[in-house]
Amino acid sequence: EDQVTQSPEALRLQEGESSSLNCSYTVSGLRGLFWYRQDPGKGPEFLFTLYSAGEEKEKERLKATLTKKESFLHITAPKPEDSATYLCAVQAPGSRGSTLGRLYFGRGTQLTVWP
């Protein structure tokens, strides 16, 4: 059973057309929620960490928000260079005394922005 579900799987936007990507999770005791951007054939690039419901973070045209069960990545007036796969990951508490807060990744949303 997936701990993290991202939707939609793919999204095509015209340049300037704002939209949102969703990340819902079932992990209990969330320690943090992470957003990454991944270009084809490259490693994920860190964007944001959110720790508590109500928290928001912004970077250029991107804004991430967090509720108790989901996070949204809002993209305002996107440009073609925003085209990438956006990955969401949640960090669960460590188990049995372990300090490791392992990450569970969603399958990603592939965003295409056309001119």
Partner 1 sequence: DGGITQSPKYLFRKEGQNVTLSCEQNLNHDAMYWYRQDPGQGLRLIYYSQIVNDFQKGDIAEGYSVSREKKESFPLTVTSAQKNPTAFYLCASSMTSGETQYFGPGTRLLVL
Query: Which residues contact partner 1 by CB under 8 A?
Result: 2, 4, 31-32, 34, 36, 41-46, 49, 87, 89, 91, 94, 98-108
Q: Closest distance between partner 1 and the C-beta of residue 95, in Å?
A: 11
- CB 27 → partner 1: shortest distance, Å? 13
Q: CA-CA distances (angstroms) from residue 20 to 28, 31, 86?
A: 24, 23, 11
Residue 93 carries which DSSP code?
P
**Residue 82 beta carbon to partner 1: minimum distance, rounded to whole angstroms:** 19
Residues 19-57 as b or e (16 or more Cβ within 10 Å = b)? eebebbbebeebeebbbbbeeeeeebeebbbbeeeeeee
User: By C-beta, is 80 or 94 nearer to partner 1?
Assistant: 94
β-partners of residue 56 are: 65
For partner 1, the closer of residues 43 and 115 by Cβ is 43
- Which residue, 72 or 105, is less far from partner 1 as judged by CB? 105
**Closer of 24 and 78 to partner 1 (Cβ):** 24
